[in-house]
Chains A and B, each alone.
Chain A
Amino acid sequence: AQSVTQLDSQVPVFEEAPVELRCNYSSSVSVYLFWYVQYPNQGLQLLLKYLSGSTLVKGINGFEAEFNKSQTSFHLRKPSVHISDTAEYFCAVSPWGYQKVTFGTGTKLQVIP
């Protein structure tokens, strides 16, 4: 079985400051890793994904994430946030070859003007 832990339920950050949203996972098999974003009253939208290869993954809206296998982490970063980045962010894992996605509990990013 897989599990995903997002330690921070809320992260306030000033506009134009950098941000890191943390995600740790556990799994007995190899997994694909994802970050999704949810804006108010909308569904989830894929930000980025790690399937294989380079451990630094770039996504939409200037976000990037780094896969660290030894620490089983997949932290999301952005060097300079904008008001429009205010949303809830979900980390997710999916085991190879198996259609079952496990989500973390989400981190609400609040960008302060």
Chain B
Amino acid sequence: KAGVTQTPRYLIKTRGQQVTLSCSPISGHRSVSWYQQTPGQGLQFLFEYFSETQRNKGNFPGRFSGRQFSNSRSEMNVSTLELGDSALYLCASSLDGATNTGELFFGEGSRLTVL
């Protein structure tokens, strides 16, 4: 069974640009969550999608957005990039439903560097 796949793994952008990151969850997983990881702030929750709907949202500005497609694949977009957006962006999928335990399955992340 394939794991969570994130693309691209590494990317470099300049201030003011925008970026789109992609996440393919484990087959059968319907919930996809996004996290930002930085050395100073640790793991911060961005948002969670389930059945193409944003179900939970963290405390990030509107420049951070996401969506989920009918096949559960998800994308997140960051517009008007700032230096502080440099981070590892992690996607996690989970099997949501009656047996949900909150266990997350993570991808390897997309490392974004903003110059």
Chain A residues proximal to chain B, CB less than 8 Å: 32, 34, 36, 41-46, 49, 51, 90, 92, 94-95, 97-106
Contact = CB atoms under 8 A, between A and B. Distances in A.
Given A43-B106, A95-B102, 18 more contacts: A32-B101, A34-B102, A34-B103, A41-B108, A42-B108, A42-B109, A43-B4, A44-B90, A51-B101, A90-B43, A92-B104, A94-B101, A94-B103, A99-B96, A99-B102, A103-B35, A103-B45, A104-B42
B94 A99 contact: yes
A97 B33 CA distance: 16
Interface in B50-109: 50, 55-56, 90, 92, 94, 96, 100-109
Given A51-B101, A106-B42, A99 B31 contact: yes
Which of A41, A45, A95, A101 has its CB near the most chain B CB atoms (within 10 A)? A101
Nearest to A103: B43
A32 B102 contact: yes
Nearest to A102: B45
Q: Is the interface of B mostly helix, strand, loop or mixed?
A: strand
A105 B111 CA distance: 19
A44 B45 CA distance: 14
Nearest to B96: A99
A45 B109 CA distance: 12
Contact of A49 (B56, B101, B108, B109): B101
B90 A43 contact: yes
Given A99-B48, A99-B50, A99-B94, A46 B42 contact: no
Nearest to A33: B102
6 contacts: A32-B101, A34-B103, A44-B90, A46-B104, A92-B104, A99-B94
Interface of B: 4, 6, 31, 33, 35, 42-43, 45, 48, 50, 55-56, 90, 92, 94, 96, 100-109, 111
Contact of B100 (A42, A90, A99): A99
Contacts of B101: 32, 49, 51, 94
Contacts of B108: 41-43
